[in-house]
Homo-oligomer: A and B are copies of this chain.
Amino acid sequence: MAIQRLAAVFGCRPTEPAILTLRRMSEPSRYARELMHRSRTGQMLLDHGFAEPDSMSAQEHRSAVPIPQREIVRLETVAEGLVDQHRRPEEWLDGVRAALAEAVRQGAVGIKTIAAYRSSLRLRWPSPRETREAYARLRQGPRGQGGHPRLQGEALCHPLLFTAAEECIRLGVPLQVHCGIGDLDEDLAESSPLGLRPLLVDEHYAGLRLVLLHCYPYHREAAYLCSVHPDVYMDLSLAVHLALTDGARAMREALGLCPWSKLLYATDASRLPEVYLVAAQLQREALATALGEVVERGILDLPEAVEAGRRVLSGNARALYRL
């Protein structure tokens, strides 16, 4: 399916070899630029925190891709990088606060947590002792990529998340939370956004803007949260291009409870430039079908639906991230 779509863009034969030949014969950054251009992306919000040795840095990416870019800071990456400098968890969390503030000062427009990959999303406050012991073990433990320890478990990930939430409020930036589908690291049973309830009902976090990423198959639950909490937003990024027909159905389901002012457009594209284009097309088609259903049932009229589509595709994100 991706093959057909790419072939249509490049005007080549719809076969894998034809696409690969074309790719090999193109100057890489120009090839990528072409795909991005076709995806009609006006501005990109990028999380560089999963960086692998051969990934581009934020700077390299900016010079390679001529589309305005803003950064999203990956909380756990920042936090892992600070473990060696701090002997006690309180100091470490303070260090994280400072680093997040500095990132935002330098232009980052949001913080993203991948706690679902490292622990459960059913948030709770561990005892200070649990956290202290887990932190001591972390400092002594094995090192991963970049020589940093790998953060894991509720005793560290939850206090970190609560701390980041406080800091997001103070800095005025949204907190993105990976929910639902992901890769093997994650226990899907523990990744429902409903587990974030402490951030939503505790007065202490009033004003926190939460963005639920991916969400599938908990998209109805996410849509419910968007409908009752004024500051919760969602996207279906991974779902739409991974679950395909059912990803599009998930968007129709989500638009039941989720107000169109709360749904965001995102592709979760990263390494492969092809994904930028294909995922963008699939998101738009899924959105068109979902809004079509809403019009058919007489809930919105056509101009309202067009306006809703525009907001999902850019207006909502512009307002949320103050772009």
Q: Is A22 on the interface with B (CB-CB < 8 A)? A: no
B257 and A253 within 8 A (CB): no
**From residue A188, how far is it (CB to closest CB) to chain B in Å?**
5
A195 and B184 within 8 A (CB): no
Q: Is A189 on the interface with B (CB-CB < 8 A)? A: yes
B184 and A201 within 8 A (CB): yes
Q: Is A262 on the interface with B (CB-CB < 8 A)? A: no
Q: Is A210 on the interface with B (CB-CB < 8 A)? A: no
B249 and A245 within 8 A (CB): no
Q: Is A187 on the interface with B (CB-CB < 8 A)? A: yes
Which residue in B184, B244, B294 is a CB contact (below 8 Å) of A245? B294
Which residue in B181, B183, B195, B256 is a CB contact (below 8 Å) of A189? B195
The contact string, 1 if C-beta is below 8 Å from chain B, for chain A 206-250, is: 000000000011001101110111000000000000111111111
Among A192, A194, A217, A249, max chain B CB count under 10 A is at A217
Among A184, A227, A246, max chain B CB count under 10 A is at A246
Q: Is A1 on the interface with B (CB-CB < 8 A)? A: yes
A246 and B256 within 8 A (CB): yes
A256 and B243 within 8 A (CB): yes
Q: Is A297 on the interface with B (CB-CB < 8 A)? A: yes
Query: Taking A197-B189, A217-B224, A221-B217 as contacts, is the C-beta distance between A184 and B229 under 8 angstroms?
Result: yes
A249 and B253 within 8 A (CB): yes
Q: How far is the CA of A217 from the CA of B256 in the complex (A)?
A: 11
**Chain B residue at minimal CB-CB distance from A191:** B194
Query: Taking A187-B194, A220-B217 as contacts, is the C-beta distance between A248 and B297 under 8 angstroms?
Result: yes
Q: Is A255 on the interface with B (CB-CB < 8 A)? A: yes
**Chain B residue at minimal CB-CB distance from A220:** B217
B299 and A244 within 8 A (CB): yes
A245 and B299 within 8 A (CB): yes
Q: How far is the CA of A300 from the CA of B223 in the complex (A)?
A: 30
Known: A4-B298, A184-B229, A223-B246. 6 other contacts (CB 8 A): A187-B194, A188-B221, A244-B294, A244-B299, A246-B252, A248-B297
Chain A residues in the interface with B (C-beta under 8 A): 1, 4, 122, 181, 183-184, 187-189, 192, 194-195, 197, 200-201, 216-217, 220-221, 223-225, 227-229, 242-250, 252-257, 293-294, 297-300
Can you list 7 residue pairs at the A/B interface with Cβ under 8 Å? A187-B197, A188-B224, A189-B194, A216-B220, A217-B224, A246-B255, A249-B253
6 closest cross-chain pairs (CB), A and B? A246-B256, A243-B256, A189-B194, A217-B220, A1-B299, A243-B257
